[in-house]
Amino acid sequence: MKFLDQAKIYVKSGDGGDGVVAFRREKYIEFGGPDGGNGGRGGDIIFEAVDNLNTLIDFRYTQHFRARKGGNGAGSDRTGAAAETVVIKVPIGTQIFDEDRETMLGDLDVAGKRLLLCRGGDGGRGNAHYKTSTNRAPRRADKGWPGEERWVWLRLKLIADVGLVGLPNAGKSTFLSTVSAARPKIADYPFTTLHPQLGVVRLSVTEEFVIADIPGLIEGAHEGSGLGDRFLGHVERCAVLLHLIDGTAEDVVESWRTIRHELSEYGGGLADKPEIIVLNKIDALMPEEIEERRTALEQACGHDVMCMSSVAHLNVDTVLRRLQDFVTRDRAEKAEQEKGEIPAT
């Protein structure tokens, strides 16, 4: 299945049904009077987040969604049938933007969350509605109100606890395949990963978290170099960033600075997120080289640097435990915030 994280679609809610002019005509009833019913309500357009989708690829082939018009009124004071609601199912983490791509209309970040985007038009009034003591035979009926229509952009930001960042060939996909059941493409050339990958890490029965692996960044990614930086949107919701640095690179400090610069240029609060820096591929280095490069990184970034090798499974468990501690703390803080937002009854 192909991955797609952006799509532009057209949505239109249903028009309201028309009211009608009708009069009661029955044998032995001398003054029947008006009995034209109102029109039915047009169908709504609702977006719903579901947990069995992880791509917007369906919207590449179906880009127009229209709800039906409400039924027209009828004699005997019968109201037209309301049209069915059109429910558009999207992956969890989908954001809906207006056509300008800047105004956010909704963020469906929880399974089951719904957003009423276009409300169906109201039905028109039938002539029975306009009956008064002075106007006993009105011949007025209204058309139904038109529905709403608009073009919107859908943008998917994957829901993950940990975001993997780094230069191409830093060993991100190898790490993901080592610690989870995910099987991303792995090769000895850059940009092997062309779209985000998710993996679930289970440390115990009660401890697990989700890792998001995105395509590698290079210098100038915020200007469009390489695959650009738009995939960074998938790690905006993460609790912590795992920054992998290729230990065999010529200048590990410059590698770290390149990614930090791209995170700052992207914005979205990524540069302020907690970051765990890991010197990867230490199985290919001598002990003195490992110490030298780790010391240089610690002096540059100002905090501890971990070392590991995904291939040789060196220190991988230690890194995972550190990540789990960050994730657990973040979840506890969010739970406290949600408690504080619930008003006392």
Which CATH number is 113's domain given?
Answer: 2.70.210.12
Number of domains in the chain: 2
Q: What pTM does this model have? A: 0.74
Domain-terminating residue out of 95, 128, 156: 156
- For residue 226, the model assigns a pLDDT of 53
Picking from 3-7, 125-129, 181-185, which range would have the lowest pLDDT averaged per residue?
181-185
Are 143 and 188 contained in the same domain?
A: no
CB 65 within 8 A of CB 9: yes
- The verdict on whether residue 215 carries a ligand-binding annotation is yes
**For range 25-52, the mean pLDDT:** 88
Domain contains 1: no
The answer to the question of whether 195 is labelled as a binding residue is: yes
* Average pLDDT score over residue span 101-108: 89
**Contacts of 300 by beta carbon, 8 Å cutoff, 6+ apart:** 253, 256, 257
The pLDDT > 70 percentage for the chain reads 90
Mean pLDDT, rounded, for 164-182: 83
| Host domain of residue 267 | 162-341
Residues 246 and 283 in one domain: yes
Structure tokens at 129: 């509605």
Strands 86-91 and 45-50: parallel
> Does one domain contain both 62 and 205?
no
The pLDDT of residue 341 is: 61
31 appears as a binding residue in the annotation: no
Task: Please answer whether residues 205 and 288 qualify as being in contact, where contact means their C-beta atoms are separated by less than 8 angstroms.
Answer: no
CA dihedral for 106, 109, 115, 117, sign (positive or negative): positive
The mean pLDDT of the chain is 84
pLDDT digits (tens, 9 = 90+) for 235-262: 778 888 888 888 888 888 888 888 888 8
342 labeled binding residue: no
Predicted confidence at residue 345, as pLDDT, reads 41
- Same domain as 123, residue 168: no
Which domain-ending residue is among 96, 126, 156? 156
Smallest CA-to-CA distance from 182 within 174, 190, 170, 171 is with 174
Q: Which pLDDT score is estimated for 16?
A: 94
Does pLDDT of 303 surpass 70?
A: yes
| Residue 172 marked in a binding site | yes
* pLDDT for 222 beyond 60: no
The annotation status of 310 as a binding-site residue, yes or no, is yes
